[in-house]
Amino acid sequence: MRAYIASTAFFVPPNRVTNDDLVSQFHIDTTNDWIVQRTGIEARHFADDGVGPSDLAEPAARDAIARAGLQKDDIDMIVFATLSPEHAFPGSGCYLQAKLGLVGVPAMDVRNQCSGFLYALASAKGFVESGLAKNVLVVGGEKHSAGLDLSTAGRTVACLFGDGAGAVVVRGTDDPERGIRWMNLGADGRFADSLSQKVWDSRHRPFVKKDPETGKHVVPADMMWANMDGKVVFKNAVEKMILSVMGMCMENGIEATDLDLVVCHQANMRINEFVRDQLGLPADKVPNNIQKYGNTTAATIPILLAELERDGRLKPGMKVALVGFGSGFTWGSAYLVW
Ligand code: ACO
């Protein structure tokens, strides 16, 4: 038996924030042109105060379950990928499990940031193919807006990210052609500090520092917000994503040009254009939706898969590559026949 993705779904909160809104609403010293030219991003969605990633994931999860032709009680495992969980613990998977009314069903979080969906998918594939679970709900969900410094000081990171969730149901098939035929994951922890957020620092007691003057617990700005060495991220993302897809092709005896679709993590349209050009693929085989949503980290790939399936660009029988890269550094790729 081989695992396959039986359904796709997504949800983004209604509040759409354009690049111009970053200037007018948040008084960030930036321009639409700067953001579009460097990243391709035109807008993103921000969830309201009080809404968490499991809230965003719930409608996507319910829709994915329905589209798989299942009832919620058929789900026997939840894997929730996120870098912005509601809390340090417990995981967002447990909050989602309660919201779905699936008491007793195992729920785990995957904390692999922009590669989170691929690590979660590999976990689901393992659960299904080993017989440990039949119907795994795999979710990528992020509430980034709470962790962005929406001021000029934070503009390099703040313009990149958006909130949203994507969900798929992973099941088993006896069809010898169909399914997740191959996956590869990787990491290079030497770059752990190149993209990080250290708001919770268990190396120290207490986790949150005490101001020596006031005696109050305070989170300094460099811990509160994400730190990113953008150029190092860009260079490594391009390199690892290209090598990952090329390795995937070699292992599976195909050429990159045999692929019908390469679904890339949506971090920066320039990264994906570079990957596309190096693989010698036309634009329609490497689709992007970062223009509308920004980088939703663990949610980008399932959101894009759902959109491609809805508009008929992703069809049964297609040869599809998924590829992502992110904090850690971590990366991964998958070869599927849809
Ligand atoms: N608006 C206007 N000016 C800005 C903005 C902004 N939003 N952000 C930065 N600038 C300014 C900087 O202050 C700097 O000004 P200076 O020259 O006067 O000092 C100038 O623009 C250039 O800044 P750089 O940081 O050198 O810009 P760079 O060309 O590296 O582009 C970017 C920044 C777009 C973030 C790029 O490095 C990038 O995309 N890197 C990849 C990062 C990424 O994808 N992160 C996502 C998370 S990881 C993942 O998902 C793979």
CATH number for the domain harbouring residue 248:
3.40.47.10
Residue minimizing CA distance to atom 51 of ligand 1: 326
| Listed residue (240, 165, 148, 178) closest to 11, CA to CA | 165
Is the confidence at residue 172, as pLDDT, over 90?
Answer: yes
Tell me the CA–centroid distance for residue 230 and ligand 1, in Å. 6
72, amino acid identity: K
Residue 215, in any domain of the structure: no
Tell me the CA–centroid distance for residue 150 and ligand 1, in Å. 15
Is the confidence at residue 275, as pLDDT, over 90?
Answer: yes
Provide the pLDDT confidence category of residue 217 given band limits of 50, 70 and 90: confident
Is the confidence at residue 222, as pLDDT, over 90?
Answer: no
Q: Dihedral of the CA atoms 157, 159, 161, 164 (nearest 10)? A: 160
Up-side HSE of residue 334: CA atoms within 13 Å toward CB? Answer: 28
Q: Give the whole-number percent of the chain exceeding pLDDT 90.
A: 92
182, amino acid identity: W
| Listed residue (158, 60, 52) closest to 95, CA to CA | 52
Show the tokens assigned to 229: 């060495």
234, amino acid identity: F
Domain co-membership, 129 together with 264: no
The whole-number pLDDT of residue 64 equals 98
Residue minimizing CA distance to atom 49 of ligand 1: 326
Residue 202, in any domain of the structure: no
Tell me the CA–centroid distance for residue 26 and ligand 1, in Å. 18
Domain co-membership, 150 together with 266: no
Residue 292, in any domain of the structure: no
Domain co-membership, 70 together with 31: yes
What mean pLDDT is predicted for residues 274-287?
96
What mean pLDDT is predicted for residues 246-255?
96
Is the confidence at residue 278, as pLDDT, over 90?
Answer: yes
Residue 77, in any domain of the structure: yes
Domain co-membership, 241 together with 119: no
The whole-number pLDDT of residue 212 equals 86
Residue 213, in any domain of the structure: no
Atom of ligand 1 nearest to the CA of 39: 34
CB-neighbour burial class of residue 101 (10 A; exposed 0-12, middle 13-18, buried 19+): exposed
What is the number of domains present in the chain?
2
Q: For 327, which DSSP code?
A: T
Provide the pLDDT confidence category of residue 221 given band limits of 50, 70 and 90: confident
Provide the pLDDT confidence category of residue 171 given band limits of 50, 70 and 90: very high
Tell me the CA–centroid distance for residue 187 and ligand 1, in Å. 23
What is the domain extent for residue 308?
A: 179-192+227-287+299-337
Domain co-membership, 93 together with 72: yes
Is the confidence at residue 207, as pLDDT, over 90?
Answer: no
Q: Which residues line ligand 1 (CB under 6 A)?
A: 30, 34-35, 38-39, 114, 155-156, 159-160, 195, 228, 230-231, 233-234, 237, 267-268, 295, 325-326
77, amino acid identity: M
Does the CA dihedral 307-311-317-323 come out positive or negative?
A: negative
Domain co-membership, 52 together with 139: yes
The whole-number pLDDT of residue 220 equals 84
The whole-number pLDDT of residue 300 equals 98
My answer on whether omega of the bond before 161 falls inside 30° of 0, hence cis, is: no
Provide the pLDDT confidence category of residue 204 given band limits of 50, 70 and 90: confident
Which residues are marked as active site?
Answer: 114, 265, 295
Domain co-membership, 309 together with 186: yes
d(CA 208, CA 202): 9
Domain co-membership, 268 together with 124: no
Strand partners, 320: 261, 336
Residue 221, in any domain of the structure: no
The whole-number pLDDT of residue 289 equals 98
Tell me the CA–centroid distance for residue 154 and ligand 1, in Å. 10
Atom of ligand 1 nearest to the CA of 324: 51
The whole-number pLDDT of residue 101 equals 98
Atom of ligand 1 nearest to the CA of 300: 50
* Residues 71/190, Cβ–Cβ less than 8 Å: no
Atom of ligand 1 nearest to the CA of 158: 7
What mean pLDDT is predicted for residues 231-259?
96
Provide the pLDDT confidence category of residue 194 given band limits of 50, 70 and 90: very high
Domain co-membership, 17 together with 131: yes
Domain co-membership, 188 together with 157: no
- pLDDT tens digits along 37-78: 999 999 999 999 999 999 999 999 999 999 999 999 999 999
The whole-number pLDDT of residue 331 equals 98
Q: pTM score, two decimals?
A: 0.96
Domain co-membership, 103 together with 27: yes
Which of 33, 38, 193 has most ligand 1 atoms within 8 Å of its beta carbon, as the pocket-test mutant? 38
* Residues 320/268, Cβ–Cβ less than 8 Å: no
- pLDDT tens digits along 95-130: 999 999 999 999 999 999 999 999 999 999 999 999
Residue 200, in any domain of the structure: no
Domain co-membership, 254 together with 234: yes
